[in-house]
Structure 1
Amino acid sequence: MNSEKKERREAQLAKKAETIKAFASEVVLQSPTQMLIDGRPYILEKNYRNGFEVKKLEERFSNILTKYDYIVGDWGYEQLRLRGFYAAGSNKGTPTQSIERLQDYLYEYCNFGCAYFVLRNLDVQPPTPSHNGGKNKKTGHKRRTQNRKEKSQKAYTAQRVYDINKKQPRSKKYTTDQVKKRKRRFTIRQKNK
């Protein structure tokens, strides 16, 4: 039984290794600080505690990171995590995605004192359109909220008028006159003075 589990586990690991090799990027070092990743030039700006490892970068690098001006790789639990940042003063992304906020990112999301590195992208690629024709899922939501705002800003042309003074006749079942007096199940005693 254990040998079957062991064989299945080895087969899973072999399949995972093949997948990693299939999606691995090509990293060519030109000098200790300059490199080409999939033919695009990068410069190693900072290598804190020797966090830069070529083999792990080849495994983890994804083409989605080519749109960022900076790529930060940090180590946590023996795993390399890559995150993209935009240049300072860039209008792209949110303010938290600016390289000026790198220290905040390291304090918030990384282990204290972890090894990390910063790569600067010299050839930033614009993001490729997605498979859904470049349509963002949130565009419909945006349109709906704009339509709601437009509707709420329009003046009402007709008001509903409710007849408040008009009373509805009650049915005779529920009038107080016809309520039957019930017999009490207990007696009320009064104190003698």
Structure 2
Amino acid sequence: MNSEKKERREAQLAKKAEAIKAYASKVVMTDKTHLTIDGRPYELLVNFHEGFDLEKLEERFSDILTKYDYIVGDMGFDQLRLHGFYKNGSKKGLPSQNITRLQDYLFEYCNFGCPYFVLRNLEVQKQQPSSALDKELYGNERPNKGHKTTTVSKNRKHRQRKRKPKNTPYTTEKTYAVHSRKKKQPTRTKRENKHANKRHFVIRQK
């Protein structure tokens, strides 16, 4: 049983390694301080305690990091963690994402004295606009903004048409209020009948 579990475990690890390798990025060192990641140029600025590991960088790198001016990688429990920072003076992101806050990040999130490295992105990729992202995700099936505005305007007109009949119940209520005043007439007839009865009663007393 133990041998079977060991074989299954090894098969799972091998399958996982193949999947990681299939989705891994390609890192090529052009010299000691310059490299390319998936064809994009980077510069190795800091390599503290030999924290730069090419193989781990290939496994952990993601395209989302291409929008940052700097990429910081720190090692903890034999795992590489990557974090993006913007250049000094940039209005992008939060203040904590500025490269001037690097020491604060290392003190707060990294183990004391842990190996780390800093890469400078020499070719920052601009973020795609929402329309380009929609086309990439949904293709031509997603309606454009012009179609949305037309549908919204049609819905508004449809609502306005529905609201018009609401005025008719209000006019009928007014007419009912006028008719309700005429209902006071039966009280007069009752009084006249009482008065007539009194006269008839007087006639019987002869």
TM-score range, shorter chain: 0.5 to 0.7
- Quote the Cα distance in structure 2 between the aligned partners of 1:97 and 1:12: 37
- Quote the Cα distance in structure 2 between the aligned partners of 1:118 and 1:69: 11
Aligned residues: 133
Question: How far off is 1:83 after superposition?
Answer: 0.6
**Mean Cα deviation higher: 53-62 or 98-107:** 53-62
| Structure 2 equivalent of residue 89 of structure 1 | 89
Query: What secondary structure does 1:82 align onto?
Result: strand
- Provide Cα deviations, 1:113-140, integer angstroms capped at 9, x if missing partner: 000000000101123437378xxxxxxx
- Quote the Cα distance in structure 1 between the aligned partners of 2:66 and 2:32: 21
- Quote the Cα distance in structure 1 between the aligned partners of 2:3 and 2:127: 47
Letter in 2 for 1:80: L
- Quote the Cα distance in structure 1 between the aligned partners of 2:83 and 2:15: 26
Contact 1:64–1:127 under 8 Å retained in 2: no
- Provide Cα deviations, 1:149-173, integer angstroms capped at 9, x if missing partner: xxxxxxxxxxxxxxxxxxxxxxxxx
Consecutive unaligned residues of structure 2, counting only runs of 5 or more, are 143-206
- Quote the Cα distance in structure 1 between the aligned partners of 2:22 and 2:37: 15
| Mapping 1:100-111, distance limit 5 Å | 100-111=100-111
Contact 1:66–1:124 under 8 Å retained in 2: yes
- Provide Cα deviations, 1:23-42, integer angstroms capped at 9, x if missing partner: 11111111100011100000
Consecutive unaligned residues of structure 1, counting only runs of 5 or more, are 134-193
Query: What secondary structure does 1:11 align onto?
Result: helix
Letter in 2 for 1:79: Q
Query: What secondary structure does 2:108 align onto?
Result: helix
Query: What secondary structure does 2:65 align onto?
Result: helix
- Quote the Cα distance in structure 1 between the aligned partners of 2:127 and 2:6: 43
Q: Which has the higher helix share?
A: 2
- Quote the Cα distance in structure 1 between the aligned partners of 2:126 and 2:8: 42
- Quote the Cα distance in structure 2 between the aligned partners of 1:10 and 1:45: 38
Confirm whether residue 15 of structure 1 aligns to residue 18 of structure 2. Answer: no
The TM-score normalised by the length of structure 1 is 0.66
RMSD: 1.4
Contact 1:27–1:58 under 8 Å retained in 2: yes
| Mapping 1:1-193, distance limit 5 Å | 1-128=1-128, 129=133, 131=137
- Quote the Cα distance in structure 2 between the aligned partners of 1:7 and 1:91: 53
**Structure 1 vs Structure 2: percent identity of aligned residues?**
68
The TM-score normalised by the length of structure 2 is 0.62
- Quote the Cα distance in structure 2 between the aligned partners of 1:127 and 1:118: 22
